[in-house]
């Protein structure tokens, strides 16, 4: 549908009413939820109409479709077993398979660096066997992430620990307990230390070692931060090694205990 002339108020009003009707229908029939953010410029009604049509098409197809193997969805292309591909050919074969996926509106991404041979093996041995909805809608992609199938625990631990430390020191941050176990966020060591200071300044945080044992992990780091004592101008600086004990809880790494270095100096 071509963009409407902004001066055609009657047509715009008609389209807005149509959009509201489509949204109400999606809410009632499919439980859809549409959020509006204060201060945001309203979406152009023509663009919104096209967007709602795509949602309608997806919802209607979704409730009528069956699931099939991804390999069947891409029409069972020929491929070479990973162990039969020489090293100098793996890049070309991976590009060919990835091109087939893209032509079928399937996208595979990785969060971390993964060797090409492993990506090819994953696609042909695992992703091909993955069941998906047999839906094809123009402009809509089915997206997969390698780490959702093969988590990189070292990467997650390092990032979650760094985010936890950063959030812990942000006194005005409401979600500071997200990266801690519930027991940790309700414990005395967690709250008493944090509540004793009006503000924190993190100067340095560097992880020096990660040791994983099943669903538990120990993280060692070097840290340098300053805390201003609540109700005063006195500052305490903490510099040195620290550690965190972490737990894999509901497939998410969280901190059970933190240990900071002692006070270096006051000023």
* 265 or 82: which leads in pLDDT: 82
pLDDT of residue 204: 96
* 99 or 22: which leads in pLDDT: 99
**Per-residue pLDDT tens digits for 49-65:** 776 666 666 666 555 56
**Per-residue pLDDT tens digits for 106-158:** 999 999 999 999 999 999 999 999 999 888 877 778 999 999 999 999 999 99
Mean pLDDT (the chain) is 86
pLDDT over 80 (residue 70): yes
Section 60-89 average pLDDT: 88
Is residue 171 a contact partner of residue 199, using CB atoms and an 8 Å limit? yes
pLDDT over 70 (residue 27): no
Strand ranges inside 54-165, DSSP E: 67-69, 106-109, 131-133, 142-145
Section 203-230 average pLDDT: 96
pLDDT over 60 (residue 7): no
Topology classification of domain 153-266: Nuclear Transport Factor 2; Chain: A, (3.10.450)
Residue with tokens 């091109």: 99
Q: What is the dihedral of CA 37, 40, 46, 47, to 10 degrees?
A: -80
Q: Report which of 146, 135, 125 is spatially closest to residue 55, judged by C-alpha positions.
A: 135
pLDDT over 70 (residue 22): no
Token digits of residue 195: 């509540």
**Per-residue pLDDT tens digits for 82-105:** 999 999 999 999 999 999 999 999
H-type alpha helices, 104-251: 116-125, 146-149, 153-168, 182-185, 188-195
Per-residue pLDDT band for 263 (boundaries 50, 70, 90) equals confident
pLDDT over 80 (residue 24): no
Q: Residue ranges of the domains in the chain? A: 9-62, 67-149, 153-266
pLDDT of residue 34: 58
pLDDT of residue 152: 96
Is residue 244 a contact partner of residue 162, using CB atoms and an 8 Å limit? no
Q: Report which of 96, 52, 47 is spatially closest to residue 74, judged by C-alpha positions.
A: 96
Distance in angstroms between the alpha carbons of the first and the last residue of the chain: 67
Per-residue pLDDT band for 14 (boundaries 50, 70, 90) equals confident
Query: Which DSSP helix (H) or strand (E) runs through 260?
Result: none
Alpha carbon distance 193, 172 (integer Å): 15
Section 242-258 average pLDDT: 95
pLDDT over 70 (residue 38): no
Alpha carbon distance 178, 174 (integer Å): 9
Alpha carbon distance 42, 19 (integer Å): 13
pLDDT of residue 54: 65
pLDDT of residue 99: 98
Per-residue pLDDT band for 4 (boundaries 50, 70, 90) equals very low
pLDDT of residue 225: 96
């Amino acid at each position: 549908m071509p963009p409407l002339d902004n001066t055609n108020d009657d047509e715009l009003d008609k389209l807005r009413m149509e959009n509201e009707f489509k949204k109400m229908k999606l809410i009632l029939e499919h439980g859809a939820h549409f959020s509006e953010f204060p201060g945001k410029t309203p979406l152009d009604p023509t663009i919104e109409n096209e967007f709602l049509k795509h949602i309608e098409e997806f919802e209607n197809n979704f409730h009528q479709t069956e699931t099939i193997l991804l390999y069947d969805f891409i029409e069972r292309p020929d491929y070479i077993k990973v162990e039969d591909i020489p090293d100098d050919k793996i890049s070309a074969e991976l590009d060919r398979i990835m091109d087939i996926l893209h032509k079928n509106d399937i996208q595979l991404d990785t969060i971390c660096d993964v060797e090409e041979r492993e990506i090819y093996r994953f696609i042909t041995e695992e992703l091909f066997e993955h069941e998906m909805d047999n839906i094809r809608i123009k402009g809509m992609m089915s997206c997969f992430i390698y780490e959702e199938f093969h988590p990189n625990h070292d990467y997650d631990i390092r990032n979650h620990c760094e985010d936890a430390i950063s959030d812990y020191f942000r006194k005005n941050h409401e979600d500071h307990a997200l990266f801690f176990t519930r027991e940790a966020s309700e414990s005395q060591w967690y709250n008493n230390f944090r509540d004793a200071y009006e503000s924190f300044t993190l100067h340095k945080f560097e992880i020096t070692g990660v040791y994983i044992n099943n669903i538990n992990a120990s993280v060692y780091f070097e840290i340098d931060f300053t805390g201003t004592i609540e109700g005063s101008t006195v500052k305490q600086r903490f510099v040195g090694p620290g550690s965190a004990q972490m737990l894999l809880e509901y497939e998410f790494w969280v901190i059970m205990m933190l240990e900071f270095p002692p006070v270096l100096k006051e000023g």
